């Protein structure tokens, strides 16, 4: 089971969209940056989707400091491709930030990539 946490301004919307996708092996919960810091650190969660107005720093909150910038990526107001997200996941990124007005477009792309990465044997993070 892959556990995704949502945070920031649009966390309720993001969580709803993740649930509606209904992907196997994906569990979602609403959280915030400080709560997610604890869960991601201890391995109780695998991934964090943060949102703010610009999709930049505030979407990541304290997570840049706690997990390091290598584990965080922001798309800003851009909409990524699934293979782009997959590449980031393979590089160890766990925290994704994007803008609230891009939630509908960005959330499914990231979640499908996460499901793909964690579903494929050998790609699962140790």
Partner 1 sequence: MQPDGIAGAAVAGGHPGFTLAQRLTVIVLCALAAWVAQRAAAVFHDGVRPFLLDFVQGRSTRRATATVSFGLSAGFVFGLGAPLALSTGVLNPWLVFLPTDVLGLVSPRRWLAAALGAAWGAVVVFGVGGADSLVHKLPVDFVTAMQQMATPILHLFALFPVLAVARQFGRLSGALCGVLELALTVMSLKLWPKIFPGSIAMAAGVLVLVGLALHRDTGRRGTADTGPGRPAGAEEDPTAGLFRAGALRLRSHLPLLMLLGAGVCLLCQAHVFGGGEASGFLIAKGDHGGAAQVDFYRALGFIPLIATTALASGAYGVAGFTLVYPVGYLLPGPWLALAAGALLFAAEVMLLSWAGRALGGLPSVRDASGQLRNAITETLHLAVLLGSLAAANAMGGGPGILIVGGLYLFNEATGRPVTRVAAAPAAVVAGGVLLNVLYWMHLFTPVAR
| Residues lying near partner 1 in the complex (CB under 8 A) | 8-9, 29-35, 37-39, 41-42, 44, 52-54, 56-62, 64-66, 69, 76-77, 101
For residue 87, give the H/E element and its range.
helix 82-90
Comparison of 107 and 117: residue with beta carbon closer to partner 1: 107
- Closest approach of Cβ 92 to partner 1, in Å? 15
Residue 40 phi/psi, 5-degree rounding, is: -70, -40
Distance (Å, whole) CA 29 – CA 27: 7
- Closest approach of Cβ 82 to partner 1, in Å? 19
Q: Which two tokens stand for residue 85?
A: 């997200």
């Amino acid at each position: 089971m892959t556990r995704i946490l949502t945070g920031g301004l649009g966390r309720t919307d993001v969580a709803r969209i993740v649930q509606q996708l209904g992907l196997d092996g994906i569990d979602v919960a609403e959280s915030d940056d400080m709560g997610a810091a604890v869960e991601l650190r201890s391995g109780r969660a695998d991934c964090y989707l943060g949102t703010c107005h610009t999709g930049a720093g505030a979407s990541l909150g304290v997570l840049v400091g706690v997990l390091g910038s290598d584990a965080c990526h922001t798309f800003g107001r851009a909409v990524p491709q699934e293979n782009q997200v997959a590449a980031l996941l393979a590089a160890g990124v766990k925290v994704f930030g994007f803008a609230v007005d891009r939630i509908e477009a960005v959330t499914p792309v990231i979640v499908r990539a996460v499901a793909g990465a964690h579903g494929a044997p050998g790609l699962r993070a140790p």
